[in-house]
């Protein structure tokens, strides 16, 4: 499934759940990920690479559950970077990319929820 366009009934059918449940999960995902993004930003700011990797793992897992792989991959890149090189400039850049993907996803999904 592509994150850039939404067909709720199709996405729900793909996951073998009802469109209503998909919407509930998507709303929970948006809410939880918003909190996780703030936590992630704070962890990057205080250069806590262990926590950055953990939060990115959580975001990636949640996104992949809903088969949002573009978002999931962006989170995994942060996880990889934080674990190998700490919170360097690349993590800041990758966080910017993740935030953009998430905002775009949020903007596109919101009208359907």
Partner 1 sequence: MRRIHKILVVDNSPVMTTFMGEVLEQAGYSVRIANTGTAALAAVEEEKPDLALIDRVMPQIDGDNVCRILHTRPDTRDIPLIMISGIAAEESGTPVREYISAYLAKTPLPQLKSTLLQVISDLEQGKDSEYRGRIIGNEQLQEREITTELLESTRQLHSFIAASPNGVLEIDGDGSIVFANPQAHTIFDLSGIQLVARQFTRLFDSTELRSRLERAIASLGAEPQRLGDDGSIQVGDRKLLISFSRVHRGPPVSIMVLLQDITALYESRRETQSLLEEKELLLREVQHRVKNNLNSISGMLQLAAAASSSPEAQKALSESEARVRSVMRIYDTLAGTGEHRNIDLTAFLRKLCDEMGLLFADNRIRTVCNVADEAVRVPVTTAIPIGLILNELVTNASKYAFVGRETGTVTISFERDGKGGFSLSVSDDGVGLPEDTTSRSREGFGLQLVRAQAQQIGAEITIDRSAGTAFLIDLGDCRT
Task: Enumerate binding residues for partner 1 (CB under 8 A).
Answer: 14-17, 21, 24-25, 28-29, 31-32, 35, 39, 42-43, 46, 48, 50-51, 53-54, 57-58, 61-62, 64-67, 76, 79-80, 83-84
- The nearer residue to partner 1, 16 or 111, going by C-beta atoms, is 16
Alpha-helix runs per DSSP H in the chain: 8-14, 19-45, 49-65, 69-85, 89-109
Place of tokens 């990319």: 97
Rounded distance, CA 22 to CA 99, Å? 22
Instruction: Tell the smallest beta-carbon distance from residue 32 to partner 1 (Å).
Output: 5
- Which of 25/104 has CB closer to partner 1? 25
Are the CB atoms for 78 and 91 separated by under 8 Å?
Answer: yes
In 3D, which of 43, 50, 18 has the Cα closest to residue 98? 43
Question: Is the distance from CB of 15 to CB of 80 less than 8 angstroms?
Answer: no
- Tell me the closest approach of the beta carbon of residue 40 to partner 1, in angstroms: 12
Residue number, 63 or 101, with CB nearest to partner 1: 63
Minimum distance of partner 1 from residue 26's CB (angstroms): 9
User: CB-wise, 4 or 38, nearer to partner 1?
Assistant: 38
Kindly state the smallest distance separating residue 85's Cβ from partner 1, in Å. Answer: 12
């Amino acid at each position: 499934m592509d994150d850039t366009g939404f067909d709720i009934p199709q996405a729900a059918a793909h996951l073998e759940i009802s469109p209503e449940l998909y919407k509930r999960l998507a709303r929970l995902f948006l809410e939880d990920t918003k909190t996780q993004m703030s936590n992630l930003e704070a962890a990057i700011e205080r250069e806590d690479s262990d926590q950055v990797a953990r939060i990115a793992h959580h975001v990636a897992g949640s996104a992949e559950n809903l088969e949002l792989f573009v978002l999931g991959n962006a989170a995994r890149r942060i996880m990889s970077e934080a674990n190998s090189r700490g919170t360097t400039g690349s993590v800041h850049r990758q966080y910017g990319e993740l935030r953009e993907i998430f905002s775009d996803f949020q903007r596109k999904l919101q009208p359907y929820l």
